[in-house]
Amino acid sequence: MALGFFDGVHKGHQSLLKKTLEVSEEENLESSVMTFKKHPLNLIFPSYAPDLITTNDEKIKLIRSFGIQHVYLNDFNEKLMNLSSENFIRDYLLKKYNLKHLVVGFNYTFGYKGAGTVETLKKYGKKYHIGISIVPPCIIDGEPVSSTRIRELIKSGKVDKVKPLLGRYYQVKGSIVKGKGLGHQFGVPTANLHLKTKGILPSPGVYYTSVIIHNQVFDGLTNLGSNPTFRQHPYSIETYIYDFDENIYNQTMIIIFKKKIRDEIRFDSVNELMTKIKSDIEYINKIYRKS
């Protein structure tokens, strides 16, 4: 069993999953992951709880895609939070699961106030006859890969720097809702995305994206933000889809963020805004789209 929160299921997490699969094959055990529905900080320090990279559904799907047989998504509650590190191993993990081997990252902590470390875990492994594997950090560009590092890159709009760490581009999923229809009037219709689950979003601006609709992939230009050209404009995620002309209201769409083109700009008129959007569309078409 691998332990961790696994937000993003990034390259570091993937090392844990691969080690878990190795051990399960060597020792003829079933492979599993135990994680939580909500980030523990939601209970411990709610104001410090991060926006997440992956939803629970995405997290389970990604973990299983590596070949893990069982994914246990548990509640992190006060009872669990207050367990000592030994009680967490003995009374929670050992009693709940027929454990033979644990796989954790180099910086794994557990038990009340995170008092248990990998050294503590090795001690309990000997005491309770559980095999322990400690996976070293996954280093990319001189730094360990972490969910925190990935969140910072997404928040700062450096979405192109995320792929080497995640092993894929960052994406969000939602349904198409009606907007003001302004783009349509100017010949640049956009799909307005309503997110199904709150998660982390790139900084406001214009992005080169791919979108998936009905299992088909299209190039897109996505604008995130509050559109400062208009007063009190609500935050929106609007995408111009290349080579596409269908009514897709209420349909599900995935946006894959590939590269930030520019920050949000306040224009003096709607005409100026639309001229700039058309220029952005042409720029992406020329520089990024495969001919």
* Residue bearing the bigger pLDDT, 248 or 222: 222
Q: Percentage of residues in the chain with pLDDT exceeding 90? A: 81
- Report the mean per-residue pLDDT for the chain: 92
- Does the reported pTM lie above 0.85? yes
What does the pLDDT average to over 256-271? 89
Token couple for 89: 């191993």
Confidence of residue 138 (pLDDT cuts 50, 70, 90): very high
- Which has the closest alpha carbon to 51: 162, 157, 152, 159? 152
Q: Would you please indicate which residues are annotated as catalytic (active-site) residues?
A: 238
User: 169-195: per-residue pLDDT in tens?
Assistant: 999 999 999 876 666 666 788 999 999
| Contact assessment for residue 175 and residue 43, using Cβ atoms and an 8 Å cutoff | no
What does the pLDDT average to over 266-273? 80
The DSSP-derived string for 212-233 is EETTEEEEEEEEEE--TTSTTP
- Beta bridge partner(s), residue 70: 32
Confidence of residue 229 (pLDDT cuts 50, 70, 90): low
Going from the N-terminus, what domains does the chain have, and what CATH number goes with each?
Answer: 2-144 (3.40.50.620), 171-287 (2.40.30.30)
